[in-house]
Amino acid sequence: MNPPELKNLCEKANEVVRRTGNFIQQELGKVQEAAIETKSLNSLVSYVDKTAEKQLVKGLGELLPEATFLTEEETVEQSEGHYRWIIDPLDGTTNFLHQLPFFSISVALQAAGKTIIGIVLEVNRKECFYAWKGGGAFLNGKPIHTRSITSLSDSLIATGFPYYDYSRQEGFLRILSFFMQNTRGIRRFGSAALDLAYVACGRFDLFFEYSLNAWDVAAGAFLVQEAGGRVSDFSGKEDYLFGREIFAAADGIYEAGFAEIEKEFSSNEIK
Distance CA 216, CA 212 (A): 6
Q: Which residues of 36-71 are buried (b: 16+ CB within 10 A; e: fewer)?
A: eeeeeeeebbbebbbbbbbbbbebbbeebeebbbbb
Confidence of residue 41 (pLDDT cuts 50, 70, 90): low
pLDDT range class, residue 162, cuts 50, 70, 90: confident
Q: How confident is the model at residue 14 (pLDDT cuts 50, 70, 90)?
A: very high
What is the model's pLDDT at position 165? 80
Mean pLDDT of the chain: 93
List residues bridging with 91 in a β-sheet: 104
- CA quadruple 62, 67, 72, 73: dihedral positive or negative? positive
Residues 6+ apart with CB under 8 A from 166: none
Q: Model confidence over 207-219: pLDDT tens digits? A: 999 999 999 999 9
Catalogue all structural domains in the chain, each as residue range(s) with its CATH number: 3-144 (3.30.540.10), 152-264 (3.40.190.80)
Sort strands 137-139 and 37-40 into parallel, antiparallel or unpaired. Answer: unpaired
Host H or E run for residue 106:
strand 104-111
pLDDT at position 194 is: 98
Neighbours of 234 (CB within 10 A): 25
More confident: 151 or 269: 151
Instruction: Return the pLDDT at 3.
Output: 85
* pLDDT above 90: residue 68: yes
pLDDT band for position 42 (cuts 50, 70, 90): low
Query: Is residue 271 over pLDDT 50?
Result: no
Interval 200-211 mean pLDDT: 97
Q: What is the mean pLDDT of residues 139-163?
A: 95
Rounded to whole angstroms, the Cα distance separating 79 from 69 reads 6
Assess contact for 68 and 80: CB atoms under 8 A.
Answer: yes
